[in-house]
Amino acid sequence: MKSNVSRLKNTVTTLVVFLFAVGLSAQKKQPNLVIIMTDQQTANAMNCAGNTDLQTPAMDLLAANGTRFTNAYCPQPLCGPSRSSMLTGQYPHQLDASINLREVSGYWDDKDVDLMGKLFRDNGYNTGYIGKWHLPISVNDKEVHGFDFITNTRERDWQDASIPADCYEFVKKQNDDKPFLMVASFVNPHDICEWARRQSLRMEPISEAPAPSECPQIPANYNVPKGQPDILDYVQSLSWKTYPTEKWNEDNWRQYRWAYYRLVERVDQYIGNVIHTLDKLKKLDNTVIIFLSDHGDGAGSHQWNQKQVLYQEAANVPFIVADFRKESNGVNKHQKVNVGLDLIPTMCDYANIPAAKTMIGQSQKPYAINPQSCDEDKVVVLETTFANGPNKAGVSGRCIIAGEWKYIVYTKGDKRDQLFNLANDPGEMTDLVSDKSTRKIKKQLIAQLKAWGEQTNDPVIKELF
């Protein structure tokens, strides 16, 4: 009898240990990672951000199942440089990618660069990339970028509409033996560039804009701020193709904003399709989705369209971390994020793998889990190099955001810099750069910017100061 009791106790103990091990293994199971990226979407172009001029149910769903960061910035408000930064975790100037470049094989062969796909493939992930590429390295260099499944990267009609189906093709091949990383890279609302020029849209048509009285109001910061650097008027005058808005009135801008929000709504539909695919194929419950954009759009603020300028609308982008394994978290209004540097370290933290030594960013997972927390000492530095396609305009700029202060400086012009208090003046309408009370603040920010320039070997900082 004692022998039977003893055997029963041993069996129960073994079962408990086994179940504990299974539970521990389940807890440590690496999540699937899905990066959903739009192009030229400013941070407030979402219903969940309080914007009532559009409806974005898919983006809102991600926000409801995660943490939305309101202080996230692109590394540079231009497609190619920003995407190069996001896929490598380095600044655009470190990559020699400060303008939009043609895709060539081996562009970064002489640099110490690690790319997102290769990092995760080398750490056991199946990797897929679907949609807009716009990097200076070739899609064919799979051993460099590390995405084994890569498709729909070429510019063509209906490119965005094809992305959900391509995502389905990739996800349906996945099993539970290995986690996967999938990037879904959409083009819109970038088509607002064609709309402003009255050209046919590249992705798909939208209806004619209604009368201005039926369109969104102009933004509160529509007027050009007093003391705006004169170089900005110069770069806007260089290319009608980039900036066709010079003689626009308020009615034109109201229709622009209407069209811009329709393009955001269109891409939101496709994002919803991707989320539905993950749910339909029973992958969503073990997936972390990170949603972001490569840069914003002026959307009429300061009468600016497109990007490149360092005002908030062009630089502040959506950044939502939605962990579908856990309950929703909320909104982080304090933590500063550089999506170029911080994206991959955040992904690595969720995947429990080390980021490459070349990646100097910061994981945002702790601040997604606890949206009330922030790194109070963190500063964000942004870059810009004005260009028209492959042709540089001869003007660069840098911006530092520290605490509630934002300092912008350009390489040329009679009046080259601006200083804003974002807490009191989020629309950047009151330039305090010449205010006697801010001299100490400006000096501190310039000192921080110089130190950053030395650390990152930035030639523009050497030119500026």
Q: What is the DSSP string of 136-179?
A: SB-TT-HHHH--SEEE--S--TTHHHHHHHHHHHHHTT--TTS-
Q: How far apart, in whole angstroms, are the C-alpha atoms of residue 69 and residue 329?
A: 11
CATH of domain 31-375: 3.40.720.10
Instruction: Work out the number of other CB atoms within 10 angstroms of the CB of residue 41.
Output: 31
Supply the DSSP string of 177-199, one letter for each residue.
Answer: TS-EEEEEE--TTTTHHHHHTTP
CB atoms within 10 A of CB 400: 19
* Number of other residues whose CB lies within 10 A of the CB of residue 395: 21
Q: Where do runs of H (alpha helix) occur along 191-243? A: 192-196, 230-237
**At a CB cut-off of 8 Å and minimum separation 6, what does 330 contact?**
67, 68, 371
Tokens of 137: 């390295």
User: What's the topology of domain 382-464?
Assistant: Arylsulfatase, C-terminal domain (3.30.1120)
pLDDT tens string, the chain, 465 residues long: the values are 444 444 444 544 443 444 344 444 444 589 999 999 999 999 999 999 999 999 999 999 999 999 999 999 999 999 999 999 999 999 999 999 999 999 999 999 999 999 999 999 999 999 999 999 999 999 999 999 999 999 999 988 889 999 999 999 999 999 989 999 999 999 999 999 999 999 999 888 999 999 999 999 999 999 999 999 999 999 999 888 889 998 899 999 999 999 999 999 999 999 999 999 999 999 999 999 999 999 999 999 999 999 999 999 999 999 999 999 998 889 999 999 999 999 999 999 999 999 999 999 999 999 999 999 999 999 999 999 999 878 888 999 999 999 999 999 999 999 999 999 999 999 999 999 999 999 999 999 999 999 999 999 999 999 999
Whether the CB-CB separation of 69 and 375 falls below 8 Å is answered with no
Taking the model in full, what pTM does it have?
0.93
For residues 263 and 268, give the distance between their C-alpha atoms in angstroms, rounded to a whole number: 9
